[in-house]
Amino acid sequence: MIDVRGVHHLGLTVGDLATASAFYASAGYQPADRISLTGPDGAVGNGLDAASLEIAFLIGPTPTLELVEFDPPAPRRVSATDPGFGSVPIGRPGAGQDPDGRPVTFGTAERGLFLTSAAPERTVRLLDALGFDRDGDGAVTGHGVHVDVVGVAAPGRTPANAPGRVHLCCEVADMQKACDELAAAGFDLVSAPRVSGHLSWVFVAHPEGPGVELLEIGTP
């Protein structure tokens, strides 16, 4: 079994980083790290030909959020009928929708998160491999998070740079072992793991559903 230490963050592709940051600040989130990715790793790791990324991590109420603005963005925003869309459970009353159209739900880390997939059973199977337990039809619970996987009819791939897209990031104890076990379970990777200092990250090739990222945090 893959040694997953927990859900590290919920990733949100945004159209404008300043606007999204201000929205979530009004809901009680505080700024943490800010990262710029201008080399090839940001594009390659996200399955894009070329892109630069501006990233802001926000902490609290729940869960930790990673806001990502891509340059260039995809031409079309993701909607609830597309794979890779989802909600944001902020743990307190919100404004209904964030600036990129995602529902902001009044819930907790245990409830209130849904993710859309054109192949919901495969999405559940991927989360299964990452230590989530099935919890009813199209739902999983694990690592302090409950996820409802909602099936959509829209085919095709939702690119990482489409505003409105959601990804779930799990921190793993050993990146290589995690990648090997995912391969054995039938899941490929978007790229080889990207390494930056003591961080290693990679996305699972899962174009029919939400983004799923693995992160290993080494010793600085």
SS (H, E, C) the chain: CCCEEEEEEEEEEECCHHHHHHHHHHCCCEEEEEEEECCHHHHHHCCCCCCEEEEEEEECCCCCEEEEEEECCCCCCCCCCCCCCECEECCCCCCCECCCCCEEECCECCECEEEEECCHHHHHHHHHHCCCEECCCCEEEECCEEEEEEECCCCCCCCCCCCCCEEEEEEECCHHHHHHHHHHCCCCECCCCEEECCEEEEEECCCCCCEEEEEEECCC
In the prediction, which pLDDT does 111 show? 63
In the prediction, which pLDDT does 156 show? 75
Residue tagged 């925003």 (tokens): 77
In the prediction, which pLDDT does 206 show? 92
In the prediction, which pLDDT does 152 show? 96
pTM: 0.95
Interatomic CA distance for residues 213 and 131, integer angstroms = 14
Phi-psi region of 112 (alpha: psi -120 to 50; beta: other; left: phi over 0): left
> Digits of tens for pLDDT over the chain (220 positions)?
899 999 999 999 999 999 999 999 988 899 999 999 998 999 999 999 999 999 999 998 778 999 999 999 999 999 999 999 999 988 666 558 999 999 988 765 456 799 999 999 999 999 999 999 998 889 999 998 999 999 999 777 899 999 999 999 999 999 999 999 999 999 999 999 999 889 999 999 999 999 999 999 998 7
In the prediction, which pLDDT does 92 show? 63
- Asked if residues 74 and 163 have their Cβ atoms less than 8 Å apart, the reply is yes
